[in-house]
Amino acid sequence: MRHTLLRFVAAGALFVTALTAHAQSQVSVLPVQGIVSLITAGDANVTVQVGKNGVVLVDTPPADLAPQVLTEIRKLSPRAIRHILQTSASSDRIGGTVALLGPAGARGLPLGQGLFGFGASAASRPNVAAHDNVLNRLSAETPAVAPGLIPTMTYFLPTLDLFNDEAIVLYHVPAAHSDGDSIVFFRRSDVVSTGNIYTPGRYPVIDITRGGSVNGLIAALGRVLEIAVPEAFEEGGTKIIPGRGRVSEETDVAEFRDMVSIIRDRVQDAMKKNQTLDQIKASKPSRDYDAEYGATPADADRLIESMYRSLTPPARPAAPRAPGGRS
C-alpha cells in the first residue's frame, strides 16, 4: 500500500512538472529594439517597454498564461507594471488583464496627470488606457465584464506622452479590425505595436459587429506605413509587432495591405456584377493567397463574408406611407 501511495505521489509530481514545462514552452521573450521587447504567450503577442519608471504593456496574454508572462516580465525589470494599453476590446487583447491586476482592476489616476499619469505613486495600481470606443463597448457588455477589464483612462485624439524617457504615441485607427483599434508607437525605440489590424501569416479578422470594416483596415495599415521607416533609411528600420505572428518591417506590412486590397477589389467587382455572397465565395477571390496565409476554406470564406458585409451599404429605411394608404 505504501509503495502504491509513493508511486501515486510521484506520478502526480511528474504530471505537475509536465504541465509547468508545457506552460513555460508556450511563453517566449524576444528583445525587439531599444527598450521594447516582445513576449509571445501561446499565439498572442504582448509588447513590453521597460525603464526607470516601470513597465508598460501593450495588451495582455491569455489568462491561463498570465503567471508565466509575469515571471518573464520580472526578468526584464523588477519595477512595477505601471500602464497597460489596450489596442481593442477583443478578448484576445485583454483576456489576461484581470489575471495580472486582480479582479478589482486598475486604480484611476488623479486628473491632470496625462494619459501616463506623471507623478503617480510607485505603489499605484497600473493605469489601463484605451480609445473611448473600447470603454463604451466594454461598459455596455451583457453580462457585465469584470471591473479589471474596464479602461481607467481613455483618449479620443492622437495622444503623445513621455514614459521611461521615451515618447509613446497612441493613434486611433477607426473602423478597422473594430471601431476601437489603437496602434502604439514607441518613438525612440522605433517600434510600432499594431494589435489585431496586422496579422502576418494569417488572414485578418474584421469584426463587423464591433464596427470593423475592410476599408478602415486598409487605411489603418496605411497609417502604420506612414509611421514606419524602411531599413534602407535607418539602421534596423522600424520594427512592427503584430497582435499575432512574427516581428515585421515596413515591407511586410505593405505586402499584407496589398493582399487585403486586392481581395477587397475582387469582392467589390463581383458585387457590382450583382453576384450573391455564395457566388462570390464559390469564385474563390482569395485563392492565390490562401496557401501563403495558411487559410483553410472556412478561413477564406470568413474573410470574404466579412468583406462582403462591410462593403454592403446599409438598408435605407422605408418611406412613411401617406394618409389614406398612398405612398
CA 27, distance to chain mean position in Å, is: 17
Residue-level pLDDT at 316: 66
Provide the pairing of β-strand 81-85 with 54-58. Answer: parallel
Does residue 140 fall inside a structural domain?
yes
- Structural domain boundaries enclosing 222: 27-312
Q: What is the pLDDT of residue 323?
A: 63
For residue 275, being part of any structural domain is answered with: yes
CATH no. for residue 183? Answer: 3.60.15.10
pLDDT in tens, 171-215: 999 999 999 999 999 999 999 999 999 999 999 999 999 999 999
Structural domain contains residue 11: no
Q: Which three cell numbers stand for residue 305?
A: 463574408
Strand-pair category, 127-131 with 81-85 = parallel
Q: How confident is the model at residue 107 (pLDDT cuts 50, 70, 90)?
A: very low
- pLDDT-derived band of residue 109, with 50, 70 and 90 as boundaries? very low
Q: Residue 24 pLDDT > 70, yes or no?
A: no
Q: Is the pLDDT of residue 155 over 60?
A: yes
pLDDT at residue 17, rounded to an integer: 44
| Domain annotation covers residue 12 | no
Q: Is 315 exposed, middle or buried (0-12, 13-18, 19+ CB in 10 A)?
A: exposed
Asked if the structure places residue 283 within a domain, the reply is: yes
For residue 282, pLDDT over 50 is answered with yes
Q: Which three cell numbers stand for residue 165?
A: 524617457
pLDDT at 232: 61
- Let me know if residue 5 belongs to a domain: no
In this structure, is residue 54 part of a structural domain? yes
Are residues 292 and 300 in contact, defined by beta-carbon separation less than 8 angstroms? no
Buried b (16+ CB within 10 A) or exposed e, 33-70: bbbbbbbbbeebbbbbbbbebbbbbbbbbbeebbebbb
In a domain, 9, yes or no: no
CA separation for the pair 292, 200 (Å, rounded): 10
| Total number of domains constituting the chain | 1
